[in-house]
Structure 1
Amino acid sequence: MNIANLLTFVRFLLIPVFVYVLYGDGQGSIMAATSIFLFAGFTDILDGYVARKYNMITKWGQAMDPLADKLMQLTVLFCFTDKGILPLWVIVVIGIKELFMILGALILYYYKDKVVIQANHYGKFATVMMYVAILAVVLHLPFAIYIMVLAVCFTLLAFHNYVSGFKQIHKNIDA
């Protein structure tokens, strides 16, 4: 396992740590859990940089990196919705979108000769926007809900882009 993949693996481990800290009895648990979430985001940036710079790109990393991101984001959104920090509609929209993304990725990977749709600029921007939106909500910024709406819109735009890519790959494989 190379360094980039190790950083992805660390993100998987941070998911239960986030939940444990958020639901812990400690004062400031929301901010502490948010710090863990932000650290996970930093490891995402770092593993992508390391993988590209040092030629450590692997099929495992291409498949597991976005999965780690999706699971972390869904966990944060679910937990923050459960805590009343986020409105329910956010997790419903993002959850449905992510479910389709995960199913599409699994179909391509396991049934179409281990094909992986790589992250693109739309998806990366949507992820950054979601991090910003969650941070704005946690910090109770007065315009946080507008940032969240924008983040959800960019997430849906990225989803549309991935669906187009999925259709093209599926068409090329079956041809």
Structure 2
Amino acid sequence: MNLPNMLTSLRFVMIPFYVVVFAKGHLIPAFLVVALAGVTDILDGYIARRSGQVTAVGMMLDPLADKLMFITVIVSLLLAGYISWGAAGAIFLRDIGMIAGGLFFHFRGKKTVPANWMGKLTTVLFYIGIMFVFFKAPFAEVYLWVVIAFSFVTSVMYIVLFQALNKMKQAELPPADAPTL
């Protein structure tokens, strides 16, 4: 358990804390919990890369913590009537698909694609959208739909990268009928 993984674990702890704060109607403190989760996400990745503490556990838990926090926030905003069912459904479709696909291929021994600049930009844009929703900006829902569209483009890019990475990995393997020494 290194510092980046502890920061990732902290995000899991923030989820129920956020739910309690949001449920009590404290929107600004609830948003601050979400913002703090975003800061820990940036920090854990930065520290892990800078100090050579990138681990397989961290590569699996970090996106899971992010997705669970994000899904929790979207559900709370949906149930409170701050975002539409359509926007929430599109977000769920994309995020649950990404989680399920990542887990499915990870456990089948396939290489997964680490976060790239498009994925990171998508996350930042979603956090900005959440901020607009929390602060009830009149254009929040339109902005959120633009980010949702961008997130699907990002997902397609990840799928293309995933296929290329695993095709390359497959090409490196000897044929099944090749003699072994």
What TM-score results when the alignment is normalised by the length of structure 1?
A: 0.91
* Residues 125 and 154 in structure 1, CA contact (< 8 A), matched pair in contact too: no
- The sequence identity of aligned pairs, in percent, is 35
The amino acid of 1:153's aligned partner reads A
* Cα drift, residue 173 of structure 1: 4.4
* Cα drift, residue 91 of structure 1: 1.4
Equivalent residue runs for 1:52-91 within 5 Å: 52-91=49-88
* Residues 3 and 44 in structure 2, CA contact (< 8 A), matched pair in contact too: yes
Unpaired runs of at least 5, structure 2: 172-181
The amino acid of 2:29's aligned partner reads A
Question: Which residue number corresponds to residue 8 of structure 2?
Answer: 8
Question: Are 1:151 and 2:133 matched, yes or no?
Answer: no
- The 4+ residue runs of structure 1 with deviation greater than 6 A are none
The amino acid of 2:143's aligned partner reads I
Q: Which has the larger radius of gyration?
A: 2
Aligned counterpart for 2:118 among listed residues 122, 141, 157 = 122
In structure 2, what is the Cα distance between the partners aligned to 1:110 and 1:60? Answer: 13
* Cα drift, residue 163 of structure 1: 1.4
* Residues 63 and 116 in structure 1, CA contact (< 8 A), matched pair in contact too: no
In structure 2, what is the Cα distance between the partners aligned to 1:112 and 1:104? Answer: 12
* Cα drift, residue 174 of structure 1: 4.5
* Cα drift, residue 4 of structure 1: 0.5
Task: Give the 3 Å change call, closer, same or farther, for CA 117–110 of structure 1 in structure 2.
Answer: same
Question: Which residue number corresponds to residue 97 of structure 2?
Answer: 100
Give the 3-state SS of the residue equivalent to 1:112 in structure 2: coil
* Residues 105 and 112 in structure 2, CA contact (< 8 A), matched pair in contact too: yes
* Count of matched residue pairs: 171
In structure 1, what is the Cα distance between the partners aligned to 2:170 and 2:99? Answer: 21
* Residues 4 and 61 in structure 1, CA contact (< 8 A), matched pair in contact too: yes
The amino acid of 2:22's aligned partner reads L
* Residues 59 and 116 in structure 1, CA contact (< 8 A), matched pair in contact too: no
Question: Which residue number corresponds to residue 50 of structure 1?
Answer: 47
Unpaired runs of at least 5, structure 1: none
